[in-house]
Structure 1
Amino acid sequence: MNTTTLCLIDDHKIVRQGLKGLLERMDTYKVTHEFDSGVSFLEALPLSPAPDLYILDYSMPFKNGIEVLKALGAQTETLKFLLLTQNFDEAIIDEAYYYGARGFLHKNCTAQELKSTIDAIVKIGYSNVADILKRVRSFENKPTPQTHIQLSEREMQFLTLVCQPEEYTYDQIADIMGLSVKSIEAYRAAIFDRYDIKSKVGLVLFSYQNRLTPPFIEES
């Protein structure tokens, strides 16, 4: 059985201890890193070996969870974050996704909900892409629509697959397109650089704002 490695970022030691005990009793998880603030976490990067998933508290002094994600920028494309919070606020959820979180849970969640969300993020990349597709329509601070979008046929195919609710991973997109994962990463990097996009959610928001791919072109 493969072990999923985790990093805990929470300013309350008792919360970290309780969460670590709960997770490691499930046998499939191992907590390899712990931090008591977003600042100490950012200063320690890059972690070696890198954990499979980072469980990030929203409410922390100096830098809250959203501010940590903002500080990471494009790194959230490769670092998988699950945001935990006691503040079940729609605006916080939207911001979490906007800045690159892969999932969001209330701290009152059950152990099974926590496990299901962690497993989905590790295996698929996101816990609920369908929810993200719904939420991008209400994000504030949307980017200004581009007047000159130049995407190759392959880039457009890649973007279309990213924006589907089937929750395709980049590996699956590579299989569908008959290309290597390295080629898919090259398309992603090219679009990121060209249009200053920071995360997979940013790709979805970019497509939505400019009505580039289904299901967004029908909304024009």
Structure 2
Amino acid sequence: MDDNYTIIIADDHPLFRNALFQSIHMAISGANLLEADSLEALLKVLEKEPEPDLLLLDLKMPGSNGMSGLIQLRSQYPDLPIVVVSASEEASIVSQVKTHGAFGFIPKSSDMKSLIGALNQILAGDSYFPAGAIKNSAACDDLATKIAALTPQQYKVLGMLSDGLLNKQIAYDLDVSEATIKAHMTAIFRKLGVKNRTQAVILLQQTES
């Protein structure tokens, strides 16, 4: 395949970024490759290059708590083709990634041949998910749908709740008023169908298990 694709690799591990670089160059000659090692760095890259052909996204890197990076990116860039590349290969994770709008999922354990095959399939316009990896669970899909209903800011607040921070601490870190955080909490509880912060945190943890 020989095209002038623009591809962004977002991963905080330099060795794995290099491995992806090599795989992409073997699959596609002439690709324009950009990289980011955190969600903040990725958003800056997207400001300069808002319409790349593909984003290869690691779920776990600075600024991204589980699915929060994917949710935020899907909200801000609804047409951006995102493929998650992750070491978390459980069926529940793959199912959530698909529910949250990713175009594909490539396990980090993939060998070079599988990786190149997946990239070629994706760039040809077909989604790619490992055979048998999608979990056909109504409960999992329902939970993922609830989480997906949260705004990026609400998801960020929920993640900070999960880290054990108090409303006052969250308000300080996000540079907003405590009343704003309480309003976010009310919306989060309503969307998740829970009554308190403990139940909300338990639901979030279920999405990351």
Instruction: Name the TM tier (shorter chain).
Output: 0.5 to 0.7
Contact kept in structure 1, 2:12 and 2:38, CA below 8 Å: yes
Matches within 5 A, 1:154-173: none
Aligned to 2:201: none
Worse overlay, 62-71 or 79-88: 62-71
Alignment CA distance shift 1:85-1:140 (3 Å): same
Aligned to 2:102: 101
1:88 maps to amino acid: E
Contact kept in structure 2, 1:6 and 1:29, CA below 8 Å: no
Q: CA deviation at 1:108?
A: 1.1
1:139 maps to amino acid: D
Can you list the C-alpha shifts for 1:53-93, whole angstroms capped at 9, x where unaligned? 11111221321462111112345541111111112122211
RMSD of aligned residue pairs (Cα, Å): 3.0
Structure 2 gap segments, 5+ residues each: 147-209
Distance, in Å, in 2 between the alignment partners of 1:142 and 1:107 is 22
Distance, in Å, in 1 between the alignment partners of 2:95 and 2:64 is 18
Q: CA deviation at 1:122?
A: 2.3
Percent same amino acid at aligned positions? 24
Query: Which of the residues 138, 141, 150 maps onto 1:139?
Result: 141
Alignment CA distance shift 1:131-1:108 (3 Å): closer
Alignment CA distance shift 1:26-1:78 (3 Å): same
For the pair 1:115 / 2:116, whether they are aligned, the reply is: yes
Contact kept in structure 2, 1:93 and 1:104, CA below 8 Å: yes
How high is the TM-score relative to the length of structure 2?
0.57
Contact kept in structure 2, 1:102 and 1:127, CA below 8 Å: yes
Aligned to 2:179: none
* Alignment length (residue pairs): 144
Structure 1 gap segments, 5+ residues each: 145-220
Matches within 5 A, 1:176-195: none
Aligned to 1:62: 63
Distance, in Å, in 1 between the alignment partners of 2:75 and 2:63 is 21
DSSP-derived class of the 1:46 partner: helix
Contact kept in structure 2, 1:24 and 1:31, CA below 8 Å: no
Contact kept in structure 1, 2:36 and 2:45, CA below 8 Å: no
Distance, in Å, in 2 between the alignment partners of 1:134 and 1:108 is 19
Aligned to 1:72: 73
How high is the TM-score relative to the length of structure 1?
0.55
Distance, in Å, in 1 between the alignment partners of 2:145 and 2:91 is 20
Q: CA deviation at 1:23?
A: 2.0
Contact kept in structure 2, 1:38 and 1:65, CA below 8 Å: no
Contact kept in structure 1, 2:96 and 2:144, CA below 8 Å: no
Can you list the C-alpha shifts for 1:25-68, whole angstroms capped at 9, x where unaligned? 33436242100112221243234373211111122132146211
Q: CA deviation at 1:97?
A: 0.9
Alignment CA distance shift 1:26-1:142 (3 Å): closer
